[in-house]
Structure 1
Amino acid sequence: MQEINVRFNEDAVELLMLSSVLNPQNACDSLRYLDICKLVEKFYPQDFTSDEKERLEMQLKHYEHNVVIGLYYKSLSTLSELCQWLVKTKKADIYDLVFRVIVLVLTLPVSTATTERSFSAMNIVKTRLRSKMEDAFLSDALMIFIEREIAKNICIDTIIEDFENFKERRIPFS
C-alpha cells in the first residue's frame, strides 16, 4: 500500500476504487450506486448534465434490480466483457447513462497511458547531453520517437531529396 500511495496521489487511488465498483467480479449482492454517483460527480462532471446525474441514480437502481442480480452478469469477469454484453443484449440503450460511465472508465487507461508514454519518451530523448536543445527541436524529436511505427514507413532518401531541392530554391547572396 505504501508503494501505491507513493506512486499515485489520493485522487488517483479514489478514482481506481470508485471505478472498481463497476467491475462484475467485485459485484456483491447489491450495487454500490452511491459510489458510482460519486465517481461521476467528482471525476466526470462535464460529461453529465445535472439532470443526467439525477437520472443516473435512478437508472442504477433499476440496473441493479434487472442486470446485476441476473445469472449471466455473475459469469462476466471483466468490465470490458460487461460492456460488450450490454451492447449485445441492447441493455446499453436502456441503461445509457450507466453504459456511458462504463465507457468512460474503460477509456481512462488509454488516456493516461498516452501521457505517461510521452513523458517517458521525453526522458529518453532529452538526456543531459541534449538538455540545451530548443523546444521546437525537442518537440520534433519526441514526435518521431513516440510515433516511431509511422516513422519507419518514411523513406529517408525522399527526405534527403526534399531537403536538397529546398536548398536549390534559395537565392545566393551576391
Structure 2
Amino acid sequence: MKDSMELLRLSSALEPREALKSFRSSDLCLLVKNFYPQDFTDYEKQVLEKELYHFEYNVVQDPEFKKLKSLSELCQWLVRTRNSEHYKLVYRMVRLVLTLLVFPATTDRAFLAMKVVKTNLRNKMENEFLTDSLMLYIEKDIASTFCLDLIVDDLEDLKECRVPFL
C-alpha cells in the first residue's frame, strides 16, 4: 500500500496540470529509480535527467501543453507532435506509468470475479467455461445489453442444424 501511494505521488509529476504548477524532475528521476530500475539502464537514467531539463523548458512551456488535462492526453500529444521522438525516455516513462496504474486494477477485478464465479458448486468447471463465465461477469455492462430472446432463437437454430445420432 505504501509503495502504491509513493508510485502515485511520484507519477503525479507527469500530470500536465501538476507540471504547469511545478515541474518536479527530481520526483520523476526517483520514480524511475524506485519503480522502473530494469526498464532504464544507468546511462539512460543520466540522459533522462538532461532530457527532463529540456522537456521542462521546451515542452511544459508550450501553449498546446497547457491545454492537456490528463496523462493519457499527454501521451497522445507527445506522439502527435513528434515530441515522443525527441524525448524518448520521458515518453517511455509516461507509457510505463499509464500501463502500471491500469494493470493492478485489472488484475484485482479479474481475481474478484473469479471468486464470485468459481464457487464451491462450480469448482469443477473446465477452463473454457470458466473463461467464458468470467468474461461475462467482468464485462457485465456490455452483457446486459444482449437480447436474451435473440440468443435463445440462435441456439434453437443451431439445434436444428445438428445431425441426429443413429
The TM-score range, normalised by the shorter chain, is: 0.7 to 0.9
Greater shift in the superposed pair: 19-28 or 97-106: 19-28
Give the C-alpha shift of residue 127 in structure 1: 2.9
Query: Among 36, 48, 52, which residue is 1:56 paired with?
Result: 48
Identity %: 48
Contact in 1 for aligned 2:15/2:71 (Cα 8 Å): yes
Cα distance in 2 for residues equivalent to 1:142 and 1:13 = 34
Shift of 1:29: 4.7
Structure 2 counterpart of 1:85, from 77, 82, 105: 77
Which of 10, 16, 33 aligns to 1:18? It is 10
| Structure 2 residues not aligned, in runs of 5+ | 140-145
Shift in alpha-carbon separation, 1:123–1:64, aligned structure 2, 3 A: same
Name the TM-score, length of structure 1 as normaliser: 0.72
Matched, 1:65 2:57: yes
Mapping for residues 145-156 of structure 1, pairs under 5 Å: 145-148=133-136
Is 1:121–1:142's contact at 8 Å kept on the other side of the alignment?
Answer: no
Return 5+ residue gaps in structure 1 as ranges: 1-8, 166-174
> Contact 2:16/2:74 (CA < 8 Å) preserved in 1?
yes
Q: Give 1:24 deviation, angstroms.
A: 0.4
> Which TM-score applies when normalising by structure 2?
0.75
1:5-26 deviation line (CA, Å, top 9, x unaligned)? xxxx100111111111100011
Q: What RMSD over aligned residues (CA atoms) do the two structures have, in Å?
A: 2.9
What are the equivalent positions in structure 2 for 1:89-168 lying under 5 Å apart? 89-130=81-122, 133=123, 137=125, 141-148=129-136
